[in-house]
Amino acid sequence: MSKIIEVKTPANEKNQRQANENRALFASHGLRVFNLISSPGGGKTTLLEATADRLGNRLGVIVGDLATARDADRILRHGCQAVQIETGGGCHLLAGQVRVAFDKLDTTGMQILIIENVGNLVCPSAYDLGEQAKIGMLSLPEGDDKPAKYPTLFLRTDLVVINKIDLRPVLEYDFERVYKDCRTLNPEVRFLNVSAKTGTGLDAWLSYLTGDK
Amino acid sequence: MSKIIEVKTPANEKNQRQANENRALFASHGLRVFNLISSPGGGKTTLLEATADRLGNRLGVIVGDLATARDADRILRHGCQAVQIETGGGCHLLAGQVRVAFDKLDTTGMQILIIENVGNLVCPSAYDLGEQAKIGMLSLPEGDDKPAKYPTLFLRTDLVVINKIDLRPVLEYDFERVYKDCRTLNPEVRFLNVSAKTGTGLDAWLSYLTGDK
């Protein structure tokens, strides 16, 4: 792990100040806030659609993409508020962008805010958005070698969600390898195996989000 | 597309100079050189294993990852040369890193060099490595909405490979949507549908690499 270099630029210091402001703002609204990070196509939006179906207006979503508002449009149809950030080519969200989006949300009745970051296992891991916890999402088709190959994210994740487990009958996947590699980077990490498509594991996911045991 | 901003930094200018030098160097060795870009877990390494099985020492591979030499180790077992670049957290390869790796290869008998970039649909698209063409790789489990959401890559790809088509019986995927979104960004783009796992489409892939029709 000695090769990983933390980049401390003026841009990142400015982001950290804004992230700290966001964190205080989110707390003043009584919100639990999560930063959801995965590869492109890991299933973030599908999981958020299923989450919105169950939480309704208790959930708010901020979605980041390089281009298009497709993901926010998808989530909006499931009964929660969603605001899209188009980064215009940017590879990760910044705390300032999240603040602008947050101001567009009506937080009445909202308990949980999920920030769906740009699909990217690398860059989003370095930028605090003011969240309570980072959630790393993997999916079976990506293969079981990702935590060791993308350590900057898995050093920082409170929870690792392994999605698309409905594909287990047709794909090889060594769950124990994933657990071991993640725990080497962060011994406190928790895991949830889900299928956003079929609903498997969603009760445990909702318990994590709401803080209920 | 008007929101996409090209970042022209001194670092990128330096990279471009090195990329131009690489291109001249590769040409002096008579090599066809490709920059292969996909999401994490898209199947780049599996495709290169299958390619090495067929091309042997006519193929050379340079592999980029944040950490571990697992991918180069995998490819080496298939009878071609492979050199790993560990970026130490970096989200894309740079032309200077490729030059250092290239100098470790024995190019005797080599005709094709494939640079497997860091798994990331965003950042690698902005950095020329001296390649002849960029190849964008998608895979069925990622979903058919990726070209429109990650336009900076698909503006620049000569070929789009759609991998993991063996999963078509269990996954929805609208190929026509992918073709249309890619052609909107680049009307000249070509497509290949493959399964690196089963071998479907590999003859056409080898013809593309070798330049045979």
Q: Is the Cβ pair A141, B139 closer than 8 Å? A: yes
Tell me if residue B120 falls in helix, strand or coil: coil
CATH class of A10-210: alpha beta
Token pair, residue B52, equals: 């090495």
Q: How many CB pairs under 8 A join A and B?
A: 132
For A172-206, how does the pLDDT look when each residue is reduced to its tens digit (9 = 90+)?
999 999 999 999 999 999 999 999 999 999 999 99
Say which residue, A10 or A73, is predicted with more confidence.
A73
- Burial tier of B29 (Cβ tally within 10 Å: 0-12, 13-18, 19+): middle
Q: Is the Cβ pair A118, B122 closer than 8 Å? A: yes
Give me the residue label for tokens 């100040």.
A17
Q: Is the Cβ pair A41, B40 closer than 8 Å? A: no
User: Residue A133: which of A101, A159, A107, A102 has the closest Cα?
Assistant: A159
What pLDDT score does B4 carry? 47
* Percentage of chain B modeled with pLDDT above 70: 95
Q: What size, in residues, is chain B?
A: 213
The chain B residue lying nearest A167, using CA atoms, is B170
- Looking at every residue in chain A, the average pLDDT score rounds to 94
Cα–Cα dist A110/B109, whole Å: 64
Q: Is the Cβ pair B119, A150 closer than 8 Å? A: yes
| Category of B56 on φ-ψ map: left (φ > 0), alpha (ψ -120 to 50) or beta | left
Neighboring chain A residues of B152 at a CB cutoff of 8 Å:
66, 89
Is residue A3 predicted with pLDDT exceeding 50? no
The chain A residue lying nearest B2, using CA atoms, is A88
Cα dist from A84 to A68, A72, A76, A212, whole Å:
9, 5, 10, 29
CATH class of B31-210: alpha beta
CB B58 within 8 Å of CB B138: no
CB A102 within 8 Å of CB A62: yes
**DSSP one-letter code for A8:** -
Give me the residue label for tokens 């009964």.
A79
Neighboring chain A residues of B65 at a CB cutoff of 8 Å:
149
- What are A's interface residues with B at a Cβ cutoff of 8 A? 1, 3-5, 39-41, 65-68, 70-71, 86, 88-89, 91, 118-123, 139-143, 145-146, 148-152, 164, 167, 170
Cα–Cα dist A171/A167, whole Å: 6
User: Residue B119: which of A168, A143, A182 has the closest Cα?
Assistant: A143
* Percentage of chain A modeled with pLDDT above 70: 95
The chain B residue lying nearest A169, using CA atoms, is B170
* Closest Cα in chain B, distance from residue A136 (Å): 13
For B159-212, how does the pLDDT look when each residue is reduced to its tens digit (9 = 90+)?
999 999 999 999 999 999 999 999 999 999 999 999 999 999 999 999 999 998
Partners of B159 in the β-ladder:
B135, B190
Averaged over A78-85, what is the pLDDT? 96
Cα–Cα dist B18/B6, whole Å: 19
Averaged over B113-142, what is the pLDDT? 97
Token pair, residue A23, equals: 């964190």
Cα dist from B85 to A111, A166, B70, B73, whole Å:
44, 34, 11, 12
Q: Is the Cβ pair A119, B40 closer than 8 Å? A: no
Phi and psi at A59, nearest 5°, equal -110, 140
- Looking at every residue in chain B, the average pLDDT score rounds to 94
What pLDDT score does B11 carry? 76
CB A165 within 8 Å of CB A199: no
| Nearest-by-Cβ selection for B123 from A1, A123, A139 | A123
Dihedral through CA A116, CA A118, CA A119, CA A121, nearest 10?
Answer: -100
For A35-45, how does the pLDDT look when each residue is reduced to its tens digit (9 = 90+)?
999 999 999 99
Token pair, residue A195, equals: 């299928």
What pLDDT score does B1 carry? 34
Cα–Cα dist B177/B146, whole Å: 10
- Local confidence band at A5 (pLDDT 50, 70, 90 cut-offs): very low
CB B148 within 8 Å of CB A149: no
